[in-house]
Amino acid sequence: MDSVTLSSKYQMVIPKSVREQMVLEPGQRFQVFVREDRIELVPVRDMKKMRGFLKGIRTDVPREADRP
């Protein structure tokens, strides 16, 4: 597991292994969420690149009674 350090300018460097795994590029934008005692960074993706990302998803899962 990689760890990072917060600099005196409140900056962090995302480890290379994470950047490669997530295919992150310089200038990448993130949405930041605070969940209880942790910070989550979610990459903002171009909608055109998202096309087809749900292909093959199962749609036959049981649903709650109040869901269509």
Instruction: Check residue 68 and give its pLDDT.
Output: 63
* pLDDT by position in tens, the chain (length 68): 789 999 999 999 999 999 999 989 999 999 999 999 999 999 998 888 778 878 888 888 888 878 66
Tell me the chain's radius of gyration from C-alpha atoms.
17
- Nearest Cα to Cα of residue 27 among 41, 11, 43, 3: 43
Which backbone phi and psi does 42 adopt, to 5 degrees? -115, 120
Instruction: Check residue 17 and give its pLDDT.
Output: 93
Instruction: Check residue 57 and give its pLDDT.
Output: 85
CA-to-CA separations, 31 to 6, 34, 37, in angstroms, rounded: 18, 10, 17
- Nearest Cα to Cα of residue 6 among 44, 43, 39: 39
